[in-house]
Chain A
Amino acid sequence: MNLASVFAGPFDAYWAQSILRSVGVIAAVLLPAGTFVYLFLFKMVSFMQNRLGPMEAGPYGSVQLLAEVGKSLQKEDIVPDRADRTLFKIAPYLVVGTVLLTYVVVPFGPDMVFIDSNVLGTGIFFVMAVSSISVIGIILAGWASASKFSLLGGLRAAGQLIAYELPLVLSVVGVVIQAGTLDLQKIVTAQATGEIFGWGALGNPYILTQGVALLIFMIAMQAELAQTPFDMPVAESELVTGYMTEYTGLRFLLFFIGEFASAGAFSAIAATLWLGGWYLPGLDLTADYMNVVGPLVLLGKTMIFGGIIFFVRFTYPRFREDQLQRFAWKVLIPLALVNIFATGVLKVVF
């Protein structure tokens, strides 16, 4: 049976599209994640810390990432004696799966979408709903490891991710009110065609009008991704590596990919919501070439946010768990609510 006969049946278009979409999602997840790791985790941080970073694997250490993946794949797959084997093994897949689902609704160009808006028109709502699934994976990992450090890490993660889900959602609400839609593609269009007091040369990227929301989103995102200064779940000097302590090999790699891929996913969503997504002023919004240029533009904007995430990560020390909760409930959430209120009022006034 050759490949052509697979596509020769009545569902050929369906299969071809499905395979393309799957490959596309995986590429969309791995590409930014890999770039983040190499560009920021390996190189930018090394320069910040007065060292060179990986230099041996490939020119300028560029294939270090493949070496790391190869190393992880070779490692023995260890499950602790008293661990709950099934849950222990499922957990990392749950975390990575969440990230894959997050990417599904991100638009990359006028036609470069995984799911059409008339199939799933509530894009950003879907993202917020799906991204909380990873918490379950993390709690499972922490509980099933049968290790006290993992348990503490898992519980910290649960408390933190739930507390910061709220400011994350509330900050997005401001953008949604201003755009008048939940669909990410339409939010991009709204920013591209928008005007600031009648001046439309730049469009209206919401970073200008929803700056407070972006700030809240960035802080909450940092906490959702468990990056310093909110990295208590994996606090390596306290809890070894938190919920990941007992994982090795492929499963640890999956957690690692999940961490950086979700950094990529959240950056892409921030870029879509606040920086105009795949559109750049001066380009044609509906032209065919935007399907090629669009993903690159989005990747570039994603890198801006990724750079900020990792710059903060390697600049600040870590909060304590109770300080983090206080910050979420007493500062971020009230601020987000005020932002929503102000946006609503101004929306009605103008």
Chain B
Amino acid sequence: MTAVTEPTEQDQLAYVAAKAADSRVNVELETDDGMTLNIGPQHPATHGTLRIVAKLDGEQVLWAEPIMGYMHRGYEKLVEVRTYPQVTTLINRIDWLGSFANEVPFILACEELMEIEAPPRAQYIRTVLHEMGRISHLIMGVGDMGVQIGALTPMFYAFRDREYLLNQIEAATGGRFHPNFDRIGGVKDDLPAGWIAETTRIMKTMTAFCDQMDDLLMGNEIFEQRTRGIGVIPPELAQLYGLSGANLRASGIDWDLRRDSDSPMAWKHADFKVITHTDGDSFARTWCRLQEIRESAKIVTQLLDDLPSGPIMAKVPRIIKVPAGEAYVATENPLGEMGYYVVSKGDLGPFRVKIRTASFSNVSIVPWILRGVYVPDIITILGSLYFILGDIDR
């Protein structure tokens, strides 16, 4: 028999410290009150590797907490060892469904520091691609909401109609998901011949998709029963948690960076409505996304109708050096406000880049919103908050 050594006080302190350090990791071992359920990191509902630790009493959630970081790729650090033109390749993988939208705020921040402005045609093309990225992103959001609630079919309709859009994005930029098309001072290429007519036609398909989803999903009684009054976010709380995008607008706060910021992009030339809803529940969030697709389709059609002619690149030096300074530019991305705080020391690459992503703030409300709901509602609420894991963890 081996002698049992008495643990010293130091051992015990170290033990407690270790416990406290990863208490969230070990929390499933404590089963004194209720059952702890680990939803994720590998779980079909978390679209990636978000982990939700939920303490359950039967099927009711006592508390729940999101744990992020399983997909951290260190982009903020990686961009520091790249030159400015190389950065866009990297950052359009942050929110992989709306890639082009990720490039825009960074490029705008660099342009602000360099005090150049892209010619109007480039701004229009940027805005059009940005909005097309938004549509292809939100289409998936609406389809995904169906899957989370158990209706598989909307997802396939979403895939079908997104395909037209991705083909157009590919025709213009060469990439379906990661265009890497935005350049400091303009865009890489002009639009190919016949692209405008085809895109205008496809925007009608998108509106038809919205009509279809309005009937199929939004008009379904079971869908309404599952989402109405579930996961209500009061407007004050939405602001406190820093929500943005459709999650904020669904709570009744009329705030959209496309309209409210003085961005050089072409949104000011388009006539569109900012969609809001007063309920703040899961239904409202999904509804807002669906209606935003309509508005985006409108924006694209309008901008393509009066696309100005002219160059697509401003005069930019061959080797890009951004003068020393700091700039923060945010745009309204599909998921909400996405901003880049770029600090330059006048080198070939940025000194430091802080990326403000929408999903990170949007999921921060999860512990509050999940308290007291049932297990199936966890999934619908997460689906209606609509986040992308890459956007949370970067």
Contacts and interface: CB of A to CB of B under 8 A. Distances in A.
A48 interface: yes
Interface in B151-194: 151-153, 156-157, 160
Interface stretch (B293-301, B343-351, B354-362, B372-380): B372-380
Nearest to B377: A320
Interface of B: 35, 37-38, 43-45, 59, 146-153, 156-157, 160, 217, 220, 222-223, 225-226, 374-379
A237 B222 contact: no
B375 A237 contact: no
B37 A48 contact: no
Contact of B374 (A228, A229, A231, A322): A322
A240 interface: yes
Nearest to B150: A318
Interface in A115-153: 148-149, 152
A262 B151 CA distance: 22
Contact of B150 (A231, A322, A323): A231
A321 interface: yes
Interface of A: 48-51, 148-149, 152, 228-229, 231-232, 235-240, 314-323
A321 B376 contact: yes
A228 B149 CA distance: 10
B374 A320 contact: yes
B151 A316 contact: yes
Contact of B376 (A149, A229, A235, A316): A235
A312 to B, nearest CB: 11
A322 B157 CA distance: 30
B146 A317 contact: yes
B374 A321 contact: yes
18 contacts: A49-B153, A148-B37, A149-B37, A152-B59, A235-B150, A236-B44, A237-B44, A237-B45, A237-B147, A240-B44, A317-B151, A318-B149, A318-B226, A319-B222, A320-B225, A320-B376, A322-B374, A323-B225
B37 A229 contact: no
Nearest to A51: B156
Nearest to B58: A155
Given A231-B150, A318-B149, A320-B377, A50 B222 contact: no
Nearest to B35: A148
Contact of B225 (A49, A315, A319): A319
Given A237-B148, A238-B379, A314 B153 contact: yes
Given A48-B153, A49-B153, A318 B45 contact: no
B157 A50 contact: yes
Contacts of A240: 43-44
Given A316-B220, A323-B225, A238 B375 contact: yes
Contact of A238 (B38, B45, B151): B45
Given A237-B45, A237-B148, A317 B223 contact: yes
